[in-house]
Chains A and B, each alone.
Chain A
Amino acid sequence: MVFHRHAVNVVCVRSESPRLRDSARGRLLLLIGLWLAAVDASAAAELDSPPVSSPLPIEFQPYRIHLVVTSDPQSQFAARARAELESNLPSLLDRSIGPRWEVRWTADESTAAIPQPAEPPSETVDPSAPPVGAPLQPDVEYRIVVSGRSGEFAAAVDAYEPLWDWRSPRRMVRTSEVRELPSLVVQTLAGLFRPRALWERLDETQVRLRVQGGALADPDPALPLLHRPEMFEPWIFFMGRGGVIQRKTAIPFTLCVLGEDADGRGTGTVVSGLKHPLSSRPRGRVQLMAVACRALWPATDVEFVSRSQPPRLLVAHNVAVHRGRIDPLPEQELPPLELITDRRGRVRLDARSEVPWVMVGITSGDQPLAEVPLVPGAASQLRLELQDDLLRLRVEGQLRLLQGEMVSIVAERTALMLAARAAAKRSEWNTVDSMLNRLQNLPTPAKLRERISGIRVPAVADARRQKDVLTERRIERLCDETDEMLQRHLADEKIRLIVEEMAELKSAAKEIAAEAAK
């Protein structure tokens, strides 16, 4: 598979040569190249080996690891560092990782893809680097580029998992003592490693996980196969005849959190942004695989966009980041981290070892749009497509303004009533009349209701035009709530009652005055 990709790449590179582009020969080559690429891609998909093809139970299956070691030719002491690695790394791997990894070595003499030592580092994926080829498809391919200058030896390590087409960030290790280099490299290899597992649905919230190599011994307790807790991202592989993968898909916004395990077997708790993430039972030949989500990048930039056409960046939205927990909430839960998406619709979630995973909730106004579990640092970037809530948000804003006015009116009405009653006690009937006048001139509920309708009708029409039933329903609910608030706090009855009360008091006062005059 990898070989064919290389071939296609070569053809493509040739096709971009200006010398050939202008010639008929060049065009022909380009067409052939494209055809070969198409054939190659489909063949590659079909030839993809199944994730689990061994007769052994998966817990006893070691990971096929392919190590490619290259050296920086411009580096003065690279050969020494490489020699140190080649002589000590196998035994060190054996002592540290043991039977969990089935390591195959390749000494790559090519230097084309070796980064220059002066290049900035390390924690980024180099997209130009081709995947490492191997006769047998490995589970993980590691490329180690060693270099050495006076007083410093370094190794750049990155990993590639063909099954998921996943690349790790590049990690650099540096040491002044060349003998330390193998142990540092082993630690780095283990740090970039992601265990994988088979999952099986137990119920809506739990899955059974069987971790590959989980039953194999851990020679070094400092480098365990699984972390605690370990989060797995569940995938579904749709297999064709002959056990080749035809399609693979991840269950979105879902993590399986593995607590305790025994010999690589354990129960995982499902946390998801979906209401029923495991409800749909995949049909046909499927294999349920999961891969661990580990914080390998320093942070994850989460980008929020709407599902509308064209997609709209969800800028200035509130994002609440809760610490992920599967146990019941303790009494004193830490307050969530409140963020606001920036002008690119993004928030940055820093990877922190004390918070292995988080629940990220995004709201539009008062309306929650989504709450999804994430492992900060598991990817450098992530894109979440959410419902476009702009129409409802505008209605919410207009109604909030109206509600603010209503609060003012209620306050003013109360103050005027009190003032009228106080004036009546003092028999200041002119003041009473003035207060009642002001009361009657306040905006009436009917007028406010008209304004609610003025907000509701065009918004609902817009939602219907967009065939957005959910938004329409939400707008209706918001308007209904405001209307209800209006009825509750601004009923005309109160004004009618106080006008009558004042009229009675006034006539009574007049009668008393008339009697006193007699």
Chain B
Amino acid sequence: MMRRRVCSWVCMTAAVCAAVWTNCCAAQPAATPPEDDPPLPKLGALTTPTTDELLRGKPTDWIVLLNQDVIFVEPVKPRPGTLEKLKAEHDQLLKVPTSQIPLEEKLEKLAALQRLQVTLLETKDDPEYVIETRFIGQILHFEDHVLKRGSLLLDKADLAPAYELLMFVDRRRRGWPGFDELYHRFLFLEADRLAKEAKFERALVTAETLYARVPDYADLSRLIGRIIDGQLAHCIAAEDFRQARHFLARLKRLIPDHTGVGKWSETLTARAREVVQQAEEAQRQKDFRRAALLVDQAAVIWPELPGLKESHRVHSDRFQIIRVGIVADRPRSGGYPFPTITSDRRRRLCALPLFEEDHVKDGVVRYRSRFIESWEPRNLGREIHFRMQTRRADWESRPVISSGQIVDAIAARLDETKPEFDSRWRRDVLSVAATSPWEWELSLSRIPLRIESRLRFDVPLTAEVLDWSGDMVPAAAQGPHQQRFCAISESETNATYRRSRTESAGSGGWHAAEVSERVYPSWDSLLQGLLRAEIDVIPVVEWKDLNALNADRRFLLLPYALPRTHLLQIHPQSVLAGNSSLRRAVLHALDRPRIFKTSVVQESVLQPERVSVDEASSKFGRLVTCPFPSTLLAYNAQLPQPDVDPLRAASLVATVQRQLGGKLPTLRLAVPGDPVSSRAIPEMITDWTRVGLSVEVIAADDQGPWDLAYRTVRLSEPTDDVWTLLNPDGQSAWSGLSIFPHWLRERLWELEQTVDWPTAQRLLQQLETEFLLEARWIPLWEVDEFLLVRRRITGLPLRPMHPYHDIERWTLQSWYSTDTP
């Protein structure tokens, strides 16, 4: 509390009078007036403090006496309007009757209200004084100085320090008289400056702020019009019509009767009309793709264009473009040896195998073929007679393949010198022969468990096939496996695929003609793209937004028929492959339930101490004990989940360290780039580090060998697909399995030899048990994935096997977004 010194009224009066009359400083104590004090400065001789003084100096109020002398004091109270407030209080007290307050007290208070207590600056000893208010001409407060300096800066268009001073005042004392005026001026000048610098969006935000405060600010409407003009011109030049409409809508909301609203609406309408006319022209020239693209563009330019709906229906029905949004999943490790989710999806879009997965029934995947009409076993199944489809439906996008080409493709699998060679085929097939252009026979030395699963390959497109088919688009000739759709363009951010066979007019209407994949950097931006109607399909939806999207009537969520399994695969040449203890340590160190709950499906944002296996089960996925989908019969549901036991893992690590002479190798982990694995992998590495394992993620520019690979798979035929998990190259040669013990290879061989389902199932489940006990693979979890489509797409299967299941039959209904952006 500031020390106060109370002088008598007489003394103070004498002192002040002396100060005034002798033109001396009032701040001199009456008792000992110093003779050599400098005179007080006159107001006219003083200038407004600089920005630096104001911001860094001590806040100072100026008390201007009647003779224009200025006393520098610390900020006085009350403020602002100090003198006015004191006088108002004084006048109010005068009106109070003496019955309510004793006279002496009243007089004392009145006297106090005629005096102003001040603290002099630069006076260290007894700086506190009292000044009679009747000698004060005016008080220039510190804030007034700041605002005045700010005003001067605005005059010089020096906006940045002016803004600093304004904020300084606002922080110091909100609502200071004169602040608002100056701030409005600043906003106007700032918006003007930004507009001149072509930073229209920021300029508009500033102008909108000013408009919200003072709608009738002088010249503001014209400034806003200028900003909108600039912004829209820029957007239209950049063909960002959605943004143009957005700004126009903002202007309309702000000043509905602004002249710019009408002007730009007409401009955009005219532009949209022009584009529609171009679309009509393209349609006349049979360039249906361009017509569809143009009419879509018109809908983006000005969806309110009269007649657009009808025109859009005509053009977008004729050439249907499915727009798909995906999150970038480029592998984070260089030389990642397995197909990514994106590459697998694109392969499934383009290739058309002889037999393809259709649905899952009774825990078994069922197949169908677009090429083969019927297949009839003979000679107790040792010969199979295949009859080909001789005609194609109008909607089918596939080449005409004759039996000779299939026979050639199978023969290549029997020929050791060909890259397609598969020793399983050579073991099982005695001969293959085309008996007519539409019939062929397979003679088997051993009947495989399911012939359909062995025929899940696509016959490469050759010049002969293309000639034979006659109506394949030229782009299909660019690659051997582009039977269904062919790649038109592929890049990091976009990919376009078109039907390999142009659809002809049929009774069933037109179907999807083109697939356009757009890559977004993150799930959030992908979701934004969906809501902006940039895309109609999302192949995999993040679980955190699943409920919200499911509730949205605009979209349809379809669960995939098979879950996707995440696992860690061990390289056969790795140190891990030969060290059971190290593999077990890797397995038991992982807290899979917690990682699954918090990082994979993100059901729990907290980091729980412990999540049990049961708790980890979710409606979106579950922990698994093998890489095969738990919905298939091959999955061994009786197999208990491996324990999460860091203590045991640490002990095993110590054992291995002793075995290896004290030096533990750093394990190199190859990782894909999909969002789920990107979330889980740091958690896994933390768990491994905790037990003493050193695991490093292979960098993008590192092409070196790997020990562990994070894989995501959807294996539909476990007996055949198990090989893709044993050999990194997916080949079925034994030579790659030398690291596996012989008894395990013998089990695999036994499984291959099996011809009946119960035995195959039993053997497969035994294998799963042995692989898990020995940690030869490390199954993590499986997740149920969902395909999201806008309801404008019809013809989808209820439980698709993959994102482009039956895409040739998808139909896109005319729709465009009319929402105001």
Q: For residue B729, which residues in chain A have a CB less than 8 angstroms away from its CB?
A: none
B734 and A342 form a contact (CB under 8 A): yes
B735 and A339 form a contact (CB under 8 A): yes
Given contacts A343-B426, A343-B427, A338 and B734 within 8 Å (CB-CB): no
Q: For residue A316, which residues in chain B have a CB less than 8 angstroms away from its CB?
A: 734, 737, 742, 745-746, 748-749
Which residue of A342, A344, A365, A416 contacts B742 across the interface (Cβ within 8 Å)? A365
Does B747 have its Cβ within 8 Å of any Cβ on chain A?
A: yes
Q: For residue B749, which residues in chain A have a CB less than 8 angstroms away from its CB?
A: 315-316, 343
Which residue of A338, A341, A397 contacts B744 across the interface (Cβ within 8 Å)? A397
What mask results when residues 570 to 584 of chain B are scored 1 for a CB within 8 Å of chain A, else 0?
A: 000000000011001
Does B694 have its Cβ within 8 Å of any Cβ on chain A?
A: no
A407 and B773 form a contact (CB under 8 A): no
Q: For residue A365, which residues in chain B have a CB less than 8 angstroms away from its CB?
A: 741-743
Most interface-central of A318, A364, A405, A412 (chain B CB within 10 A): A412
- Smallest distance from the beta carbon of B735 to chain A beta carbons, Å? 5
Q: For residue A338, which residues in chain B have a CB less than 8 angstroms away from its CB?
A: 738
Does B415 have its Cβ within 8 Å of any Cβ on chain A?
A: no
Q: For residue A400, which residues in chain B have a CB less than 8 angstroms away from its CB?
A: 741, 743
Q: For residue B651, which residues in chain A have a CB less than 8 angstroms away from its CB?
A: 411-412, 414-415
B742 and A415 form a contact (CB under 8 A): no
Please give me the residue from chain A that is nearest to B584 by CB atom: A408
Q: For residue B645, which residues in chain A have a CB less than 8 angstroms away from its CB?
A: 412
Most interface-central of A318, A396, A408 (chain B CB within 10 A): A408
B738 and A318 form a contact (CB under 8 A): yes
A404 and B584 form a contact (CB under 8 A): yes
Q: For residue A404, which residues in chain B have a CB less than 8 angstroms away from its CB?
A: 580, 584, 773-774
Q: For residue A44, which residues in chain B have a CB less than 8 angstroms away from its CB?
A: none
- Smallest distance from the beta carbon of B722 to chain A beta carbons, Å? 14
Q: For residue A411, which residues in chain B have a CB less than 8 angstroms away from its CB?
A: 581, 648, 651-652, 654-655
A281–B770 CA distance with the chains assembled, in angstroms: 50
Q: For residue B742, which residues in chain A have a CB less than 8 angstroms away from its CB?
A: 316-318, 363-365, 393, 396
Q: For residue A318, which residues in chain B have a CB less than 8 angstroms away from its CB?
A: 738, 742
Does A401 have its Cβ within 8 Å of any Cβ on chain B?
A: yes
A317–B651 CA distance with the chains assembled, in angstroms: 34
What mask results when residues 214 to 247 of chain B are scored 1 for a CB within 8 Å of chain A, else 0?
A: 0000000000000000000000000000000000
What mask results when residues 239 to 273 of chain B are scored 1 for a CB within 8 Å of chain A, else 0?
A: 00000000000000000000000000000000000
Does B650 have its Cβ within 8 Å of any Cβ on chain A?
A: yes
Does B157 have its Cβ within 8 Å of any Cβ on chain A?
A: no
Q: For residue A416, which residues in chain B have a CB less than 8 angstroms away from its CB?
A: 647
- Smallest distance from the beta carbon of A31 to chain B beta carbons, Å? 32
A404–B655 CA distance with the chains assembled, in angstroms: 13
A397 and B743 form a contact (CB under 8 A): yes
Does B423 have its Cβ within 8 Å of any Cβ on chain A?
A: yes
B647 and A340 form a contact (CB under 8 A): no
Given contacts A316-B749, A343-B426, A408 and B652 within 8 Å (CB-CB): yes
- Smallest distance from the beta carbon of B301 to chain A beta carbons, Å? 63
Please give me the residue from chain B that is nearest to A407 by CB atom: B581
Does B679 have its Cβ within 8 Å of any Cβ on chain A?
A: no
Q: For residue B745, which residues in chain A have a CB less than 8 angstroms away from its CB?
A: 316, 340
Does A419 have its Cβ within 8 Å of any Cβ on chain B?
A: yes
> Which range contains the number of A residues in contact with the other chain?
20 to 34
Q: Which of B734-767 contact A (CB under 8 A)?
A: 734-735, 737-738, 741-749, 752
A394–B743 CA distance with the chains assembled, in angstroms: 6
A344–B753 CA distance with the chains assembled, in angstroms: 12
A415 and B734 form a contact (CB under 8 A): no
What mask results when residues 415 to 437 of chain B are scored 1 for a CB within 8 Å of chain A, else 0?
A: 00000000110110000000000
- Smallest distance from the beta carbon of B446 to chain A beta carbons, Å? 10
Most interface-central of B426, B648, B738, B742 (chain A CB within 10 A): B742
Q: For residue B773, which residues in chain A have a CB less than 8 angstroms away from its CB?
A: 401, 404-405
What mask results when residues 644 to 663 of chain B are scored 1 for a CB within 8 Å of chain A, else 0?
A: 01011011101100000000
Q: For residue B748, which residues in chain A have a CB less than 8 angstroms away from its CB?
A: 316
A401–B744 CA distance with the chains assembled, in angstroms: 10
Please give me the residue from chain A that is nearest to B651 by CB atom: A415
Q: Which of B304-354 contact A (CB under 8 A)?
A: none
- Smallest distance from the beta carbon of B425 to chain A beta carbons, Å? 10
Q: For residue B737, which residues in chain A have a CB less than 8 angstroms away from its CB?
A: 316, 340
- Smallest distance from the beta carbon of B430 to chain A beta carbons, Å? 13
Most interface-central of B645, B745, B746, B770 (chain A CB within 10 A): B746
Does A390 have its Cβ within 8 Å of any Cβ on chain B?
A: yes
Q: For residue B650, which residues in chain A have a CB less than 8 angstroms away from its CB?
A: 415
A342 and B423 form a contact (CB under 8 A): yes
Please give me the residue from chain A that is nearest to B588 by CB atom: A408
Please give me the residue from chain A that is nearest to B741 by CB atom: A400
Q: Which of A403-448 contact B (CB under 8 A)?
A: 404-405, 407-408, 411-412, 414-416, 419
- Smallest distance from the beta carbon of A124 to chain B beta carbons, Å? 16
A401 and B584 form a contact (CB under 8 A): no
B734 and A341 form a contact (CB under 8 A): yes
A393–B743 CA distance with the chains assembled, in angstroms: 6
Q: For residue B752, which residues in chain A have a CB less than 8 angstroms away from its CB?
A: 343
A316–B427 CA distance with the chains assembled, in angstroms: 13
B648 and A415 form a contact (CB under 8 A): yes
Q: Which of B49-82 contact A (CB under 8 A)?
A: none
A407–B748 CA distance with the chains assembled, in angstroms: 25
Please give me the residue from chain A that is nearest to B581 by CB atom: A407
Please give me the residue from chain B that is nearest to A398 by CB atom: B743
B746 and A401 form a contact (CB under 8 A): no
Q: For residue A390, which residues in chain B have a CB less than 8 angstroms away from its CB?
A: 746
Q: Which of A52-107 contact B (CB under 8 A)?
A: none
A117–B744 CA distance with the chains assembled, in angstroms: 50
Most interface-central of B427, B734, B744 (chain A CB within 10 A): B734
Please give me the residue from chain B that is nearest to A412 by CB atom: B648
- Smallest distance from the beta carbon of B357 to chain A beta carbons, Å? 26
Which residue of A339, A393, A407, A419 contacts B647 across the interface (Cβ within 8 Å)? A419
A415–B584 CA distance with the chains assembled, in angstroms: 15
What mask results when residues 320 to 364 of chain A are scored 1 for a CB within 8 Å of chain B, else 0?
A: 000000000000000000111111100000000000000000011
Which residue of A342, A363, A397 contacts B746 across the interface (Cβ within 8 Å)? A397
Q: For residue A364, which residues in chain B have a CB less than 8 angstroms away from its CB?
A: 742
B741 and A397 form a contact (CB under 8 A): yes
- Smallest distance from the beta carbon of A344 to chain B beta carbons, Å? 6
Which residue of B648, B735, B770 contacts A340 across the interface (Cβ within 8 Å)? B735
- Smallest distance from the beta carbon of B693 to chain A beta carbons, Å? 14
Which residue of B580, B654, B733, B734 contacts A407 across the interface (Cβ within 8 Å)? B580
- Smallest distance from the beta carbon of A432 to chain B beta carbons, Å? 14
Most interface-central of B645, B655, B745 (chain A CB within 10 A): B745
- Smallest distance from the beta carbon of B176 to chain A beta carbons, Å? 64
B746 and A393 form a contact (CB under 8 A): yes
- Smallest distance from the beta carbon of A54 to chain B beta carbons, Å? 48
A407–B581 CA distance with the chains assembled, in angstroms: 7
- Smallest distance from the beta carbon of A326 to chain B beta carbons, Å? 29
A411–B745 CA distance with the chains assembled, in angstroms: 28
Q: For residue B424, which residues in chain A have a CB less than 8 angstroms away from its CB?
A: 343
A435–B748 CA distance with the chains assembled, in angstroms: 40
Please give me the residue from chain B that is nearest to A367 by CB atom: B742
A123–B607 CA distance with the chains assembled, in angstroms: 71
Q: For residue B770, which residues in chain A have a CB less than 8 angstroms away from its CB?
A: 397, 401
| Chain B residues engaging chain A, CB cutoff 8 angstroms | 423-424, 426-427, 580-581, 584, 645, 647-648, 650-652, 654-655, 733-735, 737-738, 741-749, 752, 770, 773-774
Q: List 29 A-B contacts (CB under 8 A).
A: A316-B737, A316-B742, A316-B746, A318-B738, A340-B737, A340-B738, A341-B734, A342-B733, A343-B423, A343-B734, A344-B426, A365-B742, A390-B746, A394-B746, A397-B744, A401-B770, A401-B774, A404-B584, A407-B581, A407-B655, A408-B581, A408-B584, A411-B651, A412-B645, A412-B647, A415-B651, A415-B654, A416-B647, A419-B647
The 4 closest A-B pairs by CB, nearest first: A397-B743, A415-B651, A316-B745, A411-B651
Besides A315-B734, A416-B647, 12 new A-B residue pairs in contact (Cβ under 8 A), listed by A number: A316-B749, A342-B423, A343-B749, A343-B752, A407-B580, A407-B581, A407-B655, A411-B581, A411-B655, A412-B645, A414-B651, A415-B648
